[in-house]
Amino acid sequence: MAVTQTFVMVKPDGTKRGIVGDIMSRFEHRGFKLIHAKQLVMSSAMAEQHYSHLSAKPFFQELVDYITSGPVFAMVWEAENAVQLSRSMIGPTNPAEASPGTIRGDYGTSVEANVIHGSDCPENAEREISVFFGQ
């Protein structure tokens, strides 16, 4: 299995609650190597691009308002099979369906405030890494 990179981002509910350190520890403990990290507030344009696959959904504007409502903590992590492994650590979109031990299962409070974003395929990982960190 090839060593690959994925994009992970703690959302405003997670930075507000001070759980960035715990989330980073989880990735370190699982053997991921940290490549990039920074805190920023996303612009509306950045949020609309990041969530463009959801632009037709009725909750789209709410989602953009939420993700731009405070700081996010963006990271690039490297591991074997990084995308799939990080998605399994993160858990399903709805925290109510996420098992204890997953990040969303342990910390998520609603579908919107689900703590963390993780790329869902290697192509999106590459695109998201370049949007947030350049080439």
Take residue 81 and report the two structure tokens written for it: 């099979």
98 touching ligand DAT, by CB under 6 A? no
74 touching ligand DAT, by CB under 6 A? no
50 touching ligand DAT, by CB under 6 A? no
59 labelled binding-site residue: yes
36 is catalytic: no
Contacts of 113 (CB under 8 A, 6+ apart): 11, 13, 66
Residue placing its CB nearer to Mg ion in the complex, 112 or 120: 120
Nearest Cα residue to 133 out of 37, 31, 9, 27 = 37
47 touching ligand DAT, by CB under 6 A? no
102 labelled binding-site residue: no
d(CA 103, CA 115): 8
Of the candidates 29, 36, 50, 117, the residue annotated as catalytic is 117
Take residue 36 and report the two structure tokens written for it: 């990039």
d(CA 8, CA 23): 10
Question: Which stretches of the chain bind ligand DAT, using CB under 6 A?
Answer: 54, 59, 63, 93, 111-112, 114, 117, 120
What are the catalytic residues?
Answer: 117
Question: Which stretches of the chain bind Mg ion, using CB under 5 A?
Answer: 120
